[in-house]
A and B are shown apart, each in its own frame.
Chain A
Amino acid sequence: MSEKPSSILFAPGKRRGALRRVLLGGALMLGICQADAAPDNFTSIERGRVLTTAGDCTGCHTTVNGQSMAGGLALETPFGRIVTPNITPDDETGIGRWSEAEFTRAMQFGIRRDGAHLYPAFPYPNYTRVTRQDISDIYAYLRTVPPATNVVDRDTLPFPFNIRAAMAGWNLLFFTPGEFRPEAGRSEVYNRGAYLVEGLGHCGTCHTPRNLLGADSTRQTFEGGNLLSWFAPNITGDTRRGIGGWSVQEIVEYLKTGRNARSAASGPMAEVVMDSTSRMNEADLTAIATYLKERGAPNGTAAPAPAPAPLAASDASMRAGMAIYTDTCMACHTGGGGGIDLIFPRLAGSALVQQDDPTTLLRIVISGAQSAATDLAPTGPAMPALGWRLSDRQVADVLTFIRNSWGNAAPAVTEDQSRRMRATVAPQ
């Protein structure tokens, strides 16, 4: 939110340094300070700031109340907890002593300054696609972030994952280094989008399912992935479960404001929108949307999987679900599941509602959720938690109902799935 440099004096990262000197040296020094704060590589820093936003570096490298880029955020992975490093230019605890070449090697090959392997929780398999120039600009920008002293325990994974050298083997199997190459015959906008999505944007980190070793399951690119008890939905051209039915403009609106007439970003995507995409420029967002729309049918399959037949309305769970929906959900999401534009998400025809994996739905019904709040859509409407009022079976039944009504079709949700989600997100 904060760092929009309007002048050289207020270039991010220089504010505090400049301020300290003003206070120490008195007003007379102000002019000198201004000169001191003005970098000779302003363009590079400014480009780097934009790229850092596009990469959402802050999403992992800044904690809720922590200093920008000072690390310390614990990422829960299937292999254990990884705590993100401090990437401020602090000499002792950050990357202050890293040369640009060392930084570039980390981005391109996942190798730390001391030669140790980084884990691919740091998405170097994506960042390797970033151009040399862009990496250089990101480095220039990160040099301007206020240095923060923050010691982070970088070795939290249990055996055998604590052996960083093992990542060399992982890299052999799953890692293809190399800069992005534009696809011939595609538009410039498409290739810009591909560059952002496959590179800095690292969308697949969440939206592509992972294999057993934590690598992108490349045959299922963008078909949706489970993380942190959320399900990052399918963003392929699948018309039922993906964004095949969304226009480029609708995708741009979603990324820019956090919602559109179809859906609203919540959970980790709300953070992505607030920290990253809402601050990106329209041209880049259009490029991303264009790439996602034009990259074609879901990978490896000629046609999207046929929609399953919806459950019959006479099914016992559907009938219970309808009663619960009528009494609990209808007031906002309306009787026909149409929702209210831009406030209450539409359930009829919703891709999120029809994901094969109901994780996000379970979580939202049990714990509630808040949509992204952005400059252009500052309300951030929230759905209240209903876990206190609905039993596990009732949660499952109401979800089964919304997944199989108004033209929707998706597998029924089970009481067991509901119980496990409650134990995770709302332990008693």
Chain B
Amino acid sequence: MPFFTRRHLLAATALVTLTPHVPTAQAALGMPWSPNEAYPPTGARPGPWLYFTADEAATVEAIVDRLIPADELSPGGRDAGCAVFIDRQLTGPFGSHEWLYMQGPFSANPLPSQGIQSPYTPRQQYRLGLAALAEYCRGQFGGKTFPQLAPADQDRVLTGLEKGDIHLSGYNGVELFSAILANTMEGFFADPIYGGNKDMCGWKLVGFPGTRYDYRDVIANPNRPYTLPPISIQGRPDWNRNAG
């Protein structure tokens, strides 16, 4: 006797077809929703440096403060927390290039469309690049470290790195400069919960409204100044009774 008869098949088919489908109200209607559902971003941990050594941190803080010097419009890169932002990013998935294909070959002369060609993860880039920069400064400035240089000398070094005029031993200075510049801007304008943009100083500088998403009242009043203060994922100081 066959294991699976025609009768079985017909009965099974009938069962599937005829079994009353009794959807629950929840399944049939309404948007998916569950209580307490939230996906809050992971903020930067406060405290000491997590990746940088003390010397590396001092160098990065000096660099970000030359890239964004303090003036009447905003605090400098250091006080804005840009070095902290970079340190915390390097400890996370960005620091290990978790999102990037990291096997060779790496082109020495890539087309622009070929993207990042460094065999180093950002963690390695900072470690190797800062070590090469420290060696360069020691040799050129009588044993001084980058943070010990006068601001004008710091600017000369940074300009030389940017233009490719300065050749570090063992690391591409242009790549080092462009990485720090990009990460500094990210730190200055990213949400404050990631460690930079302290007190939303970057947003106040450029007039970015932050995490607001409804502008109907504003759009209804053209040519009037926008007066709402910026708002971060964490809120803003006015949320607390004792603010100001």
Listed in ascending order, the chain A residues whose CB lies under 8 Å from chain B are: 1-2, 15-16, 19, 22-23, 64-65, 274-275, 316-317, 319-320, 323-324, 326-327, 330-332, 335, 366-370, 373-375, 378-382, 384-385, 387-390, 393-394, 397, 425-426
- Closest A residue to B18 using CB positions: A19
Chain B hits for A2, CB < 8 A = 20-23
- Closest A residue to B26 using CB positions: A64
With A and B bound together, what is the CA distance between A168 and B143 in angstroms? Answer: 96
Chain B hits for A375, CB < 8 A = 29
With A and B bound together, what is the CA distance between A389 and B217 in angstroms? Answer: 24
The segment from B31-39, B60-68, B130-138, B178-186 found at the interface with A is B31-39
Q: A19-B20, A380-B29, A381-B31 are in contact. Are A324 and B239 (CB under 8 A)?
A: yes
Q: How far is the CB of A154 from chain B (nearest CB, A)?
A: 25
For the A-B complex with A23-B11, A319-B241, A382-B33 known, give 19 more contacts whose Cβ atoms are closer than 8 Å: A1-B25, A1-B28, A2-B20, A2-B22, A19-B20, A65-B24, A274-B25, A274-B29, A320-B243, A323-B238, A326-B228, A366-B36, A368-B37, A379-B30, A380-B30, A384-B37, A389-B234, A394-B240, A425-B36
Q: A23-B14, A368-B37, A389-B40 are in contact. Are A319 and B31 (CB under 8 A)?
A: no
Q: How far is the CB of B192 from chain A (nearest CB, A)?
A: 14
Q: A380-B30, A388-B40 are in contact. Are A394 and B239 (CB under 8 A)?
A: yes
Kindly identify which residue among A320, A327, A335, A379 contacts B240, using a CB–CB cutoff of 8 Å: A320
B168 at the interface (CB under 8 A from A): no
Listed in ascending order, the chain B residues whose CB lies under 8 Å from chain A are: 11, 14-15, 18-26, 28-31, 33, 35-38, 40, 211-214, 217, 228, 231, 233-236, 238-243
Q: A23-B14, A320-B239, A320-B241 are in contact. Are A367 and B24 (CB under 8 A)?
A: no
With A and B bound together, what is the CA distance between A213 and B212 in angstroms? Answer: 49
Q: Verify B36–A387 contact, CB threshold 8 A.
A: yes
With A and B bound together, what is the CA distance between A379 and B32 in angstroms? Answer: 10
Q: Verify B236–A327 contact, CB threshold 8 A.
A: yes
With A and B bound together, what is the CA distance between A416 and B213 in angstroms? Answer: 31
Q: How far is the CB of A61 from chain B (nearest CB, A)?
A: 15
Q: Verify A16–B20 contact, CB threshold 8 A.
A: yes
A-B contact pairs, 22 of them (CB 8 A): A16-B20, A19-B20, A23-B11, A23-B14, A316-B241, A319-B241, A320-B238, A320-B240, A320-B241, A324-B239, A327-B239, A370-B30, A370-B33, A378-B30, A380-B33, A382-B31, A384-B37, A387-B38, A389-B40, A390-B235, A394-B239, A425-B35
Q: How far is the CB of A170 from chain B (nearest CB, A)?
A: 34
Q: Verify A368–B243 contact, CB threshold 8 A.
A: no
Chain B hits for A426, CB < 8 A = 35-36
With A and B bound together, what is the CA distance between A389 and B233 in angstroms? Answer: 8
Q: Verify B19–A19 contact, CB threshold 8 A.
A: yes
Q: Verify B214–A331 contact, CB threshold 8 A.
A: yes
- Closest B residue to A323 using CB positions: B238
Kindly identify which residue among A324, A335, A387, A393 contacts B217, using a CB–CB cutoff of 8 Å: A335
Chain A hits for B37, CB < 8 A = 368, 384-385
Which of A16, A378, A382, A426 counts the most B-chain CB atoms under 10 A from its CB? A382
- Closest A residue to B230 using CB positions: A327
Chain A hits for B15, CB < 8 A = 23
Q: How far is the CB of A367 from chain B (nearest CB, A)?
A: 4
Chain A hits for B21, CB < 8 A = 2
- Closest B residue to A364 using CB positions: B35
